[in-house]
Amino acid sequence: MRTLVTALAVLIICGILMPACNEPTIIGSDLLEQDKASIGFLDTLSLITTTVEEDSVITFDINSQSSNYLWGSIDDPIFGKTDASIYLQFLLSSVNPDFVSTRTHESRFDSIVLGLAYDDRAFYGNNGKNIFTDILNGGNPVDDGSIRHSMDVLKMEEVLANDQLYYSDQTFATQNTPLGSIENFIPKPDSRWEFIFPFLDGDADADTIFLDPHLRVRLDDNFGQNLFDQVVQNNIFDSDTTLLSNFPGLYLKPTKSAEQLISFNLASQLSRVSIYFTKTDTVSAIGEPTELQTLNLRYDLNLLASSVKIANYDHNNFDGSIVQSYIDDPEQGEEYLFLQSMAGPNIKVDVPYVDKLGDIVINKADITFYVATLAEDEEYFDPIQQLVIQEINSNGDLVLIEDVARSSTSIAELTLDFGGDPIEDSDVMLTKYTMNISAHFQDMVDGISSKTFFIAPLFKNERASRVVFYGSAHPMFAPKINLAFTNK
């Protein structure tokens, strides 16, 4: 009815003032022009972009723990060599375990083994190829260069406190001689272990069990025997405190460079130190007489939620790498920008003239980066899957900007509302990342936030990834902020 009345009113006015109706655009045109003048679009803001070195990242916070931990030594053609090692603190699965028979007082230590469950979701780099059979070589298997790793396991000499934050650049004292080593192993995250485990000696019906994919490293027998004796003689497994004073933990050190980082799931029950031993004790089944039998047993030291687990990342100062000359150099940032997870570089963005935009309301603001492929790169280094943006708060800490924080209840929601994921731009045949910064840019315009923000990978401290972008001086694919605004 309201539309009908309005249309009728227009007809009446035109009937009375016919000459004026011959020029309909004149009616209210001054208001229309004012509306047009108040709306603006801008995509030519000056940006200063720089690859900046990360000081360190938190890799242990008891209130916010990861399950997967990167390990290995990777040679990256762009970012150079990165060593990822792990410090682990094991705790008791139960107090006062019964290692000795109360009947015969007989027991014997057998072996001690470190287990580390794989997390193939976080492997990164070259996953190698399969072994193939060479007919010309008599049908023998041929090593085609599958990626191999080597590890030293060292005993720690410092007790770590789980109420502290630990960072990626921290190191701790260890013994010099490894408790165990494994050379040239090929990770097999898709191969289960099969065990035939006779729980009782002579048992014809021994159990066959299958365990999820994991790495097993046998540790030094002398170390295991000493630990076993300390339990039997001094009851050092009566509390975690006593355990840690005798066995503070293990350090997993890579000793061979590869084109791959692997990941361990430290929340898995298979990530543990297992002490295997036998003891002769009385065993009885329902309705059967009691008899002495030799039992094959296992006791586990576990990685619990209260255990300290620290990832250490050493980027070796990016020595000899392409990225080295670009770090902290704004002029170099005009050509390329480099972004890497772990403790690798972030990207700093300065918007020097944001305060010159005047009194405006930001309707929409986003920033776009285009991926650059360098000739030296390898195709198996996948780009970062999710970016975020951070700012420095009044305490000097890096925190997520509002556009990220309010969209980060899930990855799907973050991608939908904020963006930051790689998208193929079919018009230019390049991959791009676009991020919504509307709320944050309004704060920049209003002087609430500074003129500087930082681009970083999501899950930076626990997932390996990196990307190279075109810099601010590229004629076609420079980073660009697109603004839609209204003048107040």
Structure tokens at 370: 């285009």
- The percent of residues in the chain predicted with pLDDT above 70, rounded, is 82
283 SS3 class? strand
Fold assignment, 40-53+327-487: Jelly Rolls (2.60.120)
Residues 6+ apart with CB under 8 A from 338: 51, 78, 79, 323, 326, 327, 344, 345, 347, 466, 467, 468, 469
Given a cut of 70, is residue 28 above it in pLDDT?
no
Phi-psi region of 264 (alpha: psi -120 to 50; beta: other; left: phi over 0): beta
> Cα separation of 336 and 474, whole Å?
9
- 108-160, pLDDT tens digit by residue? 999 999 999 999 888 998 876 434 334 444 445 445 567 899 999 999 999 99
Domain ranges of the chain: 40-53+327-487, 60-314
Given a cut of 50, is residue 286 above it in pLDDT?
yes
pLDDT of residue 195: 63
- 61-95, pLDDT tens digit by residue? 999 988 899 999 999 999 999 999 999 999 999 99
Closest by Cα among 298, 232, 235 to 269: 298
Structure tokens at 218: 């046998």
pLDDT of residue 102: 62
- 335-359, pLDDT tens digit by residue? 999 999 999 999 999 999 999 999 9
Structure tokens at 116: 């580390």
pLDDT of residue 101: 67
Given a cut of 50, is residue 300 above it in pLDDT?
yes
Task: Please tell me the pTM assigned to this model.
Answer: 0.84
Q: Compute and round to an integer the Cα radius of gyration of the chain.
A: 32
Q: Tell me how crowded residue 247 is: count the other CB atoms within 10 A of its CB.
A: 21
> Cα separation of 309 and 66, whole Å?
9
pLDDT of residue 48: 95
Residue with tokens 């001054």: 30
Higher pLDDT, 141 or 385: 385
Given a cut of 50, is residue 15 above it in pLDDT?
no
- 196-246, pLDDT tens digit by residue? 554 434 444 556 777 888 999 999 999 999 999 999 999 999 999 999 999
Alpha carbons within 13 A on the beta-carbon side of 245: 11
Average pLDDT over residues 181-187: 93
Higher pLDDT, 101 or 18: 101
Side chain identity at 281, as an amino acid letter? D
Closest by Cα among 61, 33, 37 to 487: 37
